[in-house]
């Protein structure tokens, strides 16, 4: 379907005068869907027309998420059908893994753009899906048609794209930390170690045995040992951006906090004479023009980015042990999911990239 941008030609319009784009959220009843609805309500150029949630169809949005009551009143979740999104400018898919594969082929061509927040189309190699997700991909021919939705690294590919696979929250955090030093030739791409801590909302809204209050409270657990699904995604993104073949040992930990991710990454130096100052300078140069990236000597914290689309980063070089350390933090529901998806949507629709997003966190 032809988008409205073509009618505008090369005319530049102020942000508040951009024509409204009609969008839908398929899978709006999950945590990323709720965050998406919050962001869309404050977005000056995106109008939420459809919000589906099959398990909650007919339920008032405010009953499931009272925080959204002032925005959505008595509005209820829609039941999904391909026809319900027909003609929309853009659709966000916030579905569990495996579901987007059956949904997106049915709506592609009837909507202008699709941003998939799930993992169904992130990997380029179809053979990685049975190896890391335990099942063959249902539509492998579509994998090459999706662009990887990490704006700070692949902005040119995302701009105007029809199909975008938004980055996973764990993968984004690790890639943000490592990409600058890898591209600068400062670290070895083999044997990268990623030690990551994440909040419970990353596991989704439906209750699970390992995410109940009594299990999570006062407890930190390592999971996905050697097998976490974001491993090949991290390697793919780093290699695609930097041209350096990478191998990653990735270990996430579940911590008793609602939201937030901190990734502490370790690498061996690939240059003599590397110092903390030169590593920080390379990281700062890499993100110098990026509105959501903050590079500082301070040790970053998850609370500092809460509710924002910001990423806080730092780096250290340990001469004693011969290691380079890079740290990144972000809010997994914002920059790790819905905020990044909005950023990708802005690029796809020709809107200013930062529209509807903030780099300022909530505190305390």
Which amino acids are annotated catalytic? Answer: 169
Q: How distant, in Å, are the alpha carbons of 20, 28, 96 from that of 87?
A: 14, 19, 24
* DSSP characters over 108-168: BTTBSEEEE-SSTTS-S-TTHHHHHHSS--S-GGGGGGPEEE-HHHHHHHHTT-SEEEEPP
Using DSSP, state whether 231 is helix, strand or coil: helix
Task: Say whether the peptide bond before residue 363 is cis (omega within 30 degrees of 0).
Answer: no
> What is the Cα–Cα distance from 308 to 331, expressed in whole angstroms?
7
- Judge whether 327 and 299 are in contact, CB under 8 Å: yes
User: What are the tokens at 344?
Assistant: 């990708």
Q: How distant, in Å, are the alpha carbons of 11, 40, 332 from that of 338?
A: 29, 10, 9
Under DSSP, the state recorded for 325 is E
């Amino acid at each position: 379907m032809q988008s409205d941008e073509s009618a505008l030609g090369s005319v530049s319009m102020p942000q508040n005068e951009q024509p409204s784009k009609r969008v839908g959220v398929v899978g709006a009843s999950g945590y990323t869907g709720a965050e998406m609805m919050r962001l869309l309500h404050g977005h000056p150029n995106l109008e939420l027309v459809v919000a589906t949630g099959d398990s909650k169809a007919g339920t008032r949005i405010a009953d499931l998420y009272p925080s959204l009551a002032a925005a959505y009143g008595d509005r209820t979740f829609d039941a999904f059908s391909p026809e319900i999104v027909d003609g929309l400018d853009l659709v966000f898919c916030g579905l569990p893994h495996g579901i987007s594969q059956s949904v997106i082929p049915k709506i592609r061509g009837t909507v202008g753009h699709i941003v998939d927040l799930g993992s169904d189309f992130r990997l380029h190699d179809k053979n990685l899906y049975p190896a890391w997700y335990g099942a063959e991909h249902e539509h492998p021919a579509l994998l090459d048609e999706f662009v990887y939705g990490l704006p700070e690294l692949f902005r040119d590919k995302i701009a105007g794209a029809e199909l975008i696979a938004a980055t996973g929250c764990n993968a984004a955090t690790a890639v943000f930390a490592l990409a600058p030093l890898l591209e600068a030739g400062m670290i070895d791409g083999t044997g990268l170690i990623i030690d990551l801590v994440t909040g419970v909302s990353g596991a989704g809204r439906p209750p699970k045995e390992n995410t109940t209050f009594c299990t999570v409270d006062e407890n930190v657990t390592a999971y996905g040992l050697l097998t976490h699904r974001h491993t090949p995604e991290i390697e793919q993104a780093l290699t695609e951006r930097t041209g350096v073949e990478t191998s990653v040992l990735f270990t996430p930990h579940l911590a008793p906090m609602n939201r937030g991710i901190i990734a502490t990454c370790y690498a061996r130096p690939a240059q003599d004479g590397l110092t903390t100052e030169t590593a920080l300078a390379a990281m700062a140069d890499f993100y110098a023009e990026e509105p959501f990236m903050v590079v500082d000597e301070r040790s970053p914290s998850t609370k500092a980015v809460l509710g924002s689309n910001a990423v806080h980063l730092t780096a250290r070089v340990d001469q004693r042990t011969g290691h380079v350390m890079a740290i990144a933090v972000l809010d997994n529901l914002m920059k790790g999911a819905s905020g990044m998806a909005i950023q990708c949507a802005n690029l796809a629709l020709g809107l200013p990239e930062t529209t509807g997003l903030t780099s300022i966190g909530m505190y305390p």
